[in-house]
Chains A and B, each alone.
Chain A
Amino acid sequence: MSVAATRRQSLWSKAAWKLRRDRFGMLGLAVVLAYFVAAVGVWLGLWATGWGDVAGGKWDSVSSEHWFGTNLIGQDIFQRSIYSISTAFEIGLIVAVLSTLLGAVLGAMAGFFSGRATDEFVVWLMGVLDSIPFYLLVAAIAFALEGNPWSMHVAMISTFWITTARLVRGEVIKLKGLEFVEAAHAIGVPEYTIIFRHILPNTFHILLVQSTITFVAAIKSEVILSFLGLGVKDGMSWGLMISESTFEVLAGFFNNFLAASVLMFGLVMAFSIFSDALQDALDPRQVS
């Protein structure tokens, strides 16, 4: 295989070894997987199915029937929190995957054709989208799409791809000067094949780390967007629970607020720790 493939192999196996030794990182991963199992269970309909039922009284406290108590109209907070995990994963995964893809493709093209029209266009696009304040853009997209439930995802993807694209572009500019690219050119490999089959795979470590960062950013953004009324429309999410709780906390009822905040904090923190560990593991300069 080409030099590129060998290089890729050693980076990954080395990274995996380093990662396994990072205790905090592994702990983070374990927690994330636990959450993921919870989300899958909800998707399969195994639990938290009664999140919409009105079963209890107003603001019941913790009991054996309702583990976290009930909200204003008697819905079970525990089930709602668990259901929200699935929403978080759904948003996080969709936004992370799509924005990373978009960023990778655009960033690679911009980097490869750096200095020419494609690059100028992509850089210009990044500048334009960057200079529109995030919440205004989301609000604007939400309105332009007239309340489509995917408007939040679209808005997030259209801003989150930028960081990924910048990093990929920088990396590709560095990579395209390397010998294996010159060699590929020389033997007549078409340009797009070079970009996507030879260069891009060498940015996978960047893409992986960035996607974890984007996942976290998406979940956190959802909270604020739902509070502003621009977020989740159907179903339940932590953002909606926290919005619900804004008037509850001042009446002295904290269950809703705490349940959503703590669960979200857990996932975000675990994922961030894992993301850090991943970044350290993949950093070729850190020799442990």
Chain B
Amino acid sequence: MTTSLKALTNLRWLPAALMACLAACGGGDDAGNSSPGSSAGLKVYRHSMDESPTSLDPVQASNVYANHVLINAYDTLFSYQYLARPYVLKPNLADGWPEISTDTLTYTIRLKRGVRYIDDPCFPDGKGREVTAADVVYSLKRHFDPATRPQGAWLWQGRIVGLDAWKEAGSNYDQEVEGLRALDDHTLQIKLVQPYPQLLDTLAQGYSSVVPREAVEHYGREFGIRPVGSGPFRLVSYDTARIVMDRNPGFRQEPVDLAAEGYDPATQGQYGLERIEGRSPPFIDRLEFQFIADASARWNSFTKGDEAQYTTIPNEQIDRVLTSKHPITLKPEYAEKYFFYAGMEAGFIFQTWNLLDPEFGYNEDPERERRNKALRCAVIKSFDWPARNDSFYGGIGTIFPGIIVPVVPEFDPDLSRVSVTRDVAGARKLLEDNGWNAANLPMFTFGTTANVLNRLMFEQFRAWLKDIGYPPEKVVLKQYATFGDISKAWKQAELPWVVKGWGLDYPDAENTLQLFYGPNSSPGSNDSNWRNPEYDALYEQSSVMLPSPERTEIYRRMNEMVIDACLTATGLARTRIHLWHKDVIALPDREIVGGFFLKYVDVED
């Protein structure tokens, strides 16, 4: 007994066990390579983001994080020019612009030749084959197959001839769809039900990445973590903290033409982008994504110097990093080490009423409905956008009225700013004139996801409401653990007040105007559940029009209708200040699709 006990308490075996464990567990990544930092001559770019994608299957590419990875692992038919602002579409996998029939219902798109998938065991002899038009058809069809749990169907629902019927008939991939056909290996034809001006934009999104059928069938559910694409990079490892991608040696050679990418030396000359002219991307050997949810931890990783090479400035650091906000200027010690780019988001933050709640919206009693509108207008008047901007968006966001965001061409800078100006007296008067007082005001439930900043936003909002006479006891917070939970509440129209951010899927105001289109009511994205026949008619009319002054006129009229109906407190477009180390040659951006700049990143050695 004593001997075995001695063995127990004798801990000499421990270091050996520990080393064995280390050797077994800690050794290297999937490719068996050692850390990039320790390997000489490897060009690495380390990008940091606040969230990791939950799936790398293009049918679930519902957010910007997934897109960053997907459009670099896969090809999309179209893409956006690297440097042009505002954003301009360009052909990517497509060979030139498509042929469009005169009734704009038929698109014939040609694919580039000789584009190959990466080598992967899912192919017959492990060698990647050429990408064909049939692959594009397959990839789009997957969005109409419930088994893949697709999230992108809404882009093409009811738009492509025969696709919805194909889904009804059981999503059999060997069955042809009339409006989505491969005429031959390199020609794709799409037939539309009605004109769809944004079609090509949808073919630039992560959702439309071109995937090979062999990979999906071979990997099944694991396809979401094993992308097999034809893009500039290929995935090496993936976990919730980090994604590593290596350059795809077989990626097609396409020398960069800066002018064609929208380069503007006047505003973009300081980044050293001329280096990449004439060379063929990708320029780096390894691309790393670090997912750091905590903004200040991300900031720390960036300022250390040997970790992340890119970040956006977290709001709490803005006052420490900038000497001035208008125009944005970095303090000298930061300007020395980093480049910056202040990009306005293609999207906005807004808060909208849910009219299906009889306490605040539609009501059987017309008198009550009228008073409800006054209440809504009063609450909107209590909103202090500058204070919100200062506290939560670094004071550098752009406040604008209405739902057409500053980034799109249809934006009207001269629109009246009354709807975003705080007016406590006016609000109080509205409440008084319409018979509202502390006793009969209804309970106001403010729903957000559970995090500290949202809670502070709620407290700030409650204090504003107190100023116009809304008793604080009647303003309550309801927190949801995850985005999925609150999304459910929105889609079931359970909350009277929806606090949301919306990122544009494509640079067209239609993307935000559809947020108030009647048929898009819950569970769709019209969280306000507003049904106005006049608005809906205008929407339908404009949705088939190509950009033109007439269409802009209609868009602006719709915008004013939304403002007059006191539906939302809107809006604020955040300004993200991108910072990156000076040895990185790039112009980072995460708007619209997100991550399409990564292909062009170069690192000085």
Contacts and interface: CB of A to CB of B under 8 A. Distances in A.
A81 B317 CA distance: 25
A53 B463 CA distance: 6
Interface in A126-169: 142-143, 147
Best-buried of B297, B452, B472 by chain A (most CB within 10 Å):
B452
B478 A250 contact: no
A143 B481 contact: yes
Contact of A52 (B391, B392, B450, B472): B472
A240 B452 CA distance: 8
Given A52-B463, A58-B390, A73-B459, A251 B317 contact: yes
B299 interface: yes
B456 A71 contact: yes
Contact of A248 (B297, B299, B316, B477): B316
B462 interface: yes
A74 B392 CA distance: 12
A1 to B, nearest CB: 50
A249 to B, nearest CB: 8
A65 interface: no
Interface in A52-75: 52-54, 58, 71-75
Contacts of B387: 54, 73
B296 interface: yes
A233 interface: yes
A91 B261 CA distance: 60
A52 B5 CA distance: 61
A233 B477 contact: yes
A246 B316 CA distance: 11
Chain A CB count within 10 A is highest, among B316, B387, B478, B480, for: B316
A233 B459 contact: no
A53 B455 CA distance: 14
Interface residues of B, number: 34
A247 interface: yes
A75 B472 CA distance: 15
Nearest to A248: B316
Nearest to B395: A58
B300 A250 contact: yes
Given A54-B460, A73-B391, A247 B294 contact: yes
Given A73-B460, A248-B316, A251-B317, A243 B476 contact: no
Contact of A246 (B390, B452, B463, B464): B452
B463 A54 contact: yes
A248 B315 CA distance: 10
Contacts of A244: 452, 456
A243 B294 CA distance: 12
Contacts of B392: 72
Nearest to A229: B450
Nearest to B299: A250
A74 B464 CA distance: 12
A143 B480 CA distance: 10
A252 interface: yes
B451 interface: yes
Which of A53, A72, A143, A234 lies at the interface centre, i.e. has the most chain B CB atoms within 10 A of its CB? A72
A181 to B, nearest CB: 39
A250 B456 contact: no
Interface string A231-257: 001100000100110111111110000
A75 B460 CA distance: 9
Interface string B468-483: 0000100011111100
B122 interface: no
B272 to A, nearest CB: 30
B320 interface: yes
Interface string A248-288: 11111100000000000000000000000000000000000
Nearest to B480: A147
Given A52-B463, A75-B459, A252 B480 contact: no
A141 B459 CA distance: 26
A178 to B, nearest CB: 36
B296 A234 contact: no
Interface string A114-127: 00000000000000
A4 B280 CA distance: 91
A142 B459 CA distance: 23
B105 interface: no
A127 to B, nearest CB: 25
B408 interface: no
A71 B455 CA distance: 13
Contacts of A71: 456
- The winner among A71, A143, A233, A249 for most chain B CB atoms within 10 A is A233
Contact of B314 (A143, A147, A240, A247): A247
Contact of A240 (B295, B316, B455): B455
Contacts of B460: 54, 73
Contacts of A53: 463, 466
Contacts of A58: 390-391
B481 A247 contact: no
Contact of B320 (A74, A142, A248, A251): A251
Contacts of B296: 246-247, 249-251
A153 to B, nearest CB: 17
Nearest to A236: B459
B462 A246 contact: no
B459 A52 contact: yes
B316 A251 contact: yes
A233 B479 contact: yes
A221 B391 CA distance: 30
Nearest to B466: A53
B459 A54 contact: yes
Nearest to B388: A73
B320 A252 contact: yes
Contacts of B452: 240, 243-244, 246-247
A53 B317 CA distance: 25
A252 B321 CA distance: 12
Nearest to A139: B481
Contacts of A73: 387, 391, 456, 459-460, 463
Contact of A72 (B456, B472, B478): B456
Contact of A229 (B463, B478, B481): B481
Interface of A: 52-54, 58, 71-75, 142-143, 147, 229, 233-234, 240, 243-244, 246-253
Given A246-B296, A248-B316, 15 more contacts: A52-B459, A72-B316, A72-B456, A73-B387, A73-B391, A142-B481, A147-B480, A229-B451, A234-B476, A240-B452, A243-B452, A244-B452, A246-B452, A250-B300, A252-B320
30 contacts: A52-B459, A52-B462, A53-B466, A54-B459, A54-B460, A72-B391, A72-B392, A73-B391, A73-B456, A73-B459, A73-B460, A73-B463, A74-B391, A75-B459, A143-B481, A147-B478, A147-B479, A147-B480, A147-B481, A229-B451, A233-B479, A244-B456, A246-B296, A247-B294, A247-B295, A247-B453, A250-B299, A250-B316, A251-B317, A251-B319
